[in-house]
Amino acid sequence: MTVEIQVPDLGESLNTATIAHWLKQPGDYVKLGDNILELETDKVSLEVTASTSGVLMHIEPEGKDVEVGQVIAAIDDNAVAPTVQPEIEPSKTTESTEQENRLSQPFSEVSSAPKKEPEVPSSNVAPEPSTSLSGGGEHRVPMSRLRRTIARNLKEAQNTAAILTTFNEIDMTAVKELRAVYRDAFSKKHEGARLGFMSFFAKAVIGALKEYPIINAQIDGDDVIYRDHVNLGIAVGTERGLVVPVLRRAEDMTFAELERRIADYGKRARDGKLTLDELGGGSFTVTNGGIFGSLLSTPIVNSGQSGVLGMHAIQDRPVARNGEIVIRPMMYVALSYDHRLIDGREAVSFLVRLKELIEDPRRLLLDV
């Protein structure tokens, strides 16, 4: 009997997907539960499993857009699993005889490879295309569904919001010293959780948003929606494109919980294992271009939000302290915000408060 494989339910508001990659090919024997293909939606990639054991039959081509419920493959469940023939090991006697024969040959006969006449390339063989950038050629490839979605959402946000960016710089000395002292103890106590910079910035962002809730708000028609919680988006760059998983109610999380969740999101984002629920509902986003070496940027506010914080690379720079020039590890930070809702006073004050909390992390503990 032939069993049809259909596009599964993709989640709320998603009706179409793209066949990204077949993990099995027609003629392959698959077992119940085997992953057979990857589907790419507007937000995540997901794997489709075999609903029965048998031989994979007809499949739809990669790159094709398909709808929920559409038949994309079939499995013949009457097919029998191929039997694996055991390998027959050569007898020791045979191996020994062959070895003796080789050893008994003259050295020149054993070591010399047969001479080959130089191959003359056929005039009918087309030359390989040049990979040089100076060749003047070009080639066209289709955009992935995720890339199309990213492009559409960012352009929509840019066309809708009046985005403005303000900057400040932060002395990272205190946080670096705190990490150096407690990093090992933190990891030991919290089962391997790594004390990074992101948890400090997440905590500082949450504290600053409590004081300036307008930056955590959203315009909805002629109304403003104020949120009483912080759903913190963490931008993650992957080979497929940028995704922003959300830490829901991040204000309730400890440093260790933040670090574990951020590390988990980063790994699963790169593996394409995030769920739709983990990618929606953010109220504010943090993006860290510093891991790629970025010194300054003007990040774009995500749709449905009013602000995004851009972190950047830490660099030793000369700064004035108590009338003297000293070298300190400094980071530029950028806040892009929707100027329709947020005035410059609030945006600048938010960054100043963030700077205070990072430069003196004791404030995070004492809430002052």
Contact 234, 274 (CB under 8 A): no
| DSSP H or E segment with residue 19 | strand 16-22
Catalytic-residue membership of 343 = yes
Give CA–CA dist 265/242, Å, rounded. Answer: 13
Helix (H) or strand (E) holding 269: helix 255-270
Q: Which residues pair with 221 in a beta bridge?
A: none
Q: Which residue has the tokens 């990639």?
A: 45
207, containing H or E segment:
helix 198-211
Cα distance between residue 302 and residue 320, in whole Å = 36
Active-site option among 65, 184, 277, 343: 343
162 φ, ψ (degrees, to nearest 5): -95, 90
Structure tokens at 19: 């066949």
Q: Which two tokens stand for residue 348?
A: 């600048």
Q: Which of 34, 264, 339, 360 is catalytic?
A: 339
Distance, CA of 14 to CA of 236 (rounded, Å): 22
Show which residues are catalytic. Answer: 339, 343
